[in-house]
Amino acid sequence: MTNFIPIFPLGIVVYPGEQLNLHIFEPRYKQLITESAATDQPFGIPAVINESLAEMGTLVRVVEISHLYEDGKMDVKTEGFLVFKMLELVREIPEKSYSGAIVTYPDNDFTGDRDMMNILVKGMFQIHEKLGVSKTFSKPDTELTSYDIAHHLGLTIEEEYRVLELMLERHRQDFLKHHLAKVIPMMEEMEMLKKKIKKNGHFKNLEGFKFS
């Protein structure tokens, strides 16, 4: 299926199920959000990476305009729900200040390996513990998906976009698994280095080498 959608390009990757809070201040996007909220029609957020508009993005809906300022700026709560691929960019739309795109919606398989997902969640919390950060989710750990945790694993925006390109949950899980396999050992080495540095300057109780 293909159709036309208004778009709001941003330098972030948005995933299905993600709740995204936006502060809207540009006139063209104030118009877009106002119309989207009034008509209950979604809009697309394609990723902007290295100052280039990527072809993949996520369709989002306006959940709530939580605050409307006197000058027309607004704080908006949105939620992503469907991955799209841009077929054609429509820069100018009659009587609109924002742009749009003709898009298609690739089939997206959410069937993953639950045991693998549990390992990924455990690895994520392991990273958080080492960094001294805390993250809570709106659903039980046993129900989390790759989309839920991808923003919380220290991926670059290019890597986050790669997750968005993958249309099979098992492939997304494999990608995150390989990332954790690189990151966790690096963090463990950094932790050992940090402990070693902290010990420098302390009196050491060391046994001398015994010559045979």
Structural domain includes residue 207:
no
Total count of domains within the chain = 2
Q: Judge if 93 and 9 occupy the same domain.
A: yes
Answer yes or no: is pLDDT of 3 > 60: yes
Structural domain includes residue 109:
no
The CATH number assigned to the domain holding 34 equals: 2.30.130.40
Q: Is 67 or 132 the better-scoring residue by pLDDT? A: 67
pLDDT of residue 131: 80
Q: Judge if 90 and 140 occupy the same domain.
A: no
Q: Judge if 92 and 128 occupy the same domain.
A: no
**Residues with Cβ < 8 Å from 153, sequence gap 6 or more?**
123, 124, 127, 176, 179, 180, 183
pLDDT digits (tens, 9 = 90+) for 190-212: 666 555 545 554 444 444 445 45
Answer yes or no: is pLDDT of 116 > 50: yes
Q: For strand 19-24 and strand 74-90, is the pairing parallel, antiparallel, or unpaired? A: antiparallel
CA 31/CA 26 separation, integer angstroms = 9
pLDDT of residue 80: 97
pLDDT of residue 189: 65
Q: Judge if 165 and 143 occupy the same domain.
A: yes
Which domain, by its residues, includes 27? 2-104
pLDDT digits (tens, 9 = 90+) for 93-113: 999 999 999 999 999 999 999
Answer yes or no: is pLDDT of 44 > 50: yes
pLDDT of residue 195: 55
Q: Judge if 6 and 49 occupy the same domain.
A: yes
CA 211/CA 68 separation, integer angstroms = 79
Angle between helices 169-199 and 114-131 (to 10 degrees): 30
Answer yes or no: is pLDDT of 53 > 60: yes
Q: What is the pTM of this model?
A: 0.85
**Which residue is it, tokens 């001294």?**
132
For residues 134-163, give the mean pLDDT. Answer: 93
